[in-house]
Amino acid sequence: MVTGTVVSGLDDVGVHVDLDVDLDVDLHVDGKRGRPLGFLRVPEMSWEHFDDLDRVAPIGRRIRAEVLDVDLERERVSLSVKALHPDPWRPFADTHRIGYSLPGVITRIIAFGVFVRLAPGVEGMVHTSELPDRTFESGDEVRATLLDVDLRRRRISLALDG
């Protein structure tokens, strides 16, 4: 585990993190010896879906992360914040069975369906073929029936109740 400060961001890719500690490798930044620069990719920031990188990792934010890899050629340390937290999908799959009806909140509307947050870090999708004849908006509270849980592909299929 390391700590550091977000120093720059690449909107849809990730952020660079100035690490607080010297690692036991010979890395340097911009041709000068110094602390290594870490890189935190968007998928490694959180188990939960988010649309705004500045909300999760704004410049100046202090973070704790796990080192995933040290790439000596690229002089980069790959980081993960979500590795410090348990995967929320496994306990969800262990406690919810096909056919369960549960509450959720619509988080995204896409051309072929809607995503529903079922628990922190766990979202499922309702395909348009399973949607009732009405319109939805992000933030709408709904009840959904669990049709399928695919842990390997991290996909949950749902049907909206009523």
Q: Look at residue 24 in the predicted model and tell me its pLDDT.
A: 55
pLDDT (mean) for 112-117: 95
Write the DSSP symbol of residue 61: -
pLDDT score, position 76: 79
pLDDT tens, 4-36? Answer: 999 988 768 999 999 987 655 544 444 445 567
For the chain, the average pLDDT equals 88
Alpha-carbon span 49 to 101, nearest angstrom: 22
Cα dihedral 146, 160, 49, 109, rounded to 10, equals 150
Q: For residues 103 and 20, which has the higher predicted lDDT (pLDDT)?
A: 103
pTM over 0.85: no
Q: What angle do CA 125, 130, 136 make, to 5 degrees?
A: 70
Which of 25-39, 73-87, 113-127 has the lowest average pLDDT? 25-39
Task: Enumerate the β-bridge partners of residue 34.
Answer: none
Q: Which range among 68-72, 82-86, 94-98, 138-142 shows the weakest confidence by mean pLDDT?
A: 68-72
Which residues touch 74 (CB under 8 Å, ≥6 apart)?
A: none
Helix (H) or strand (E) holding 94: helix 89-95
Nearest to 143 by CA among 127, 159, 119: 159
Q: What is the pLDDT of residue 16?
A: 92
What is the Cα–Cα distance from 31 to 76, expressed in whole angstroms?
13
Task: Report yes or no: 52 and 58 within 8 Å, Cβ to Cβ.
Answer: no
Predicted pLDDT at 29:
46
pLDDT of amino acid 22: 62
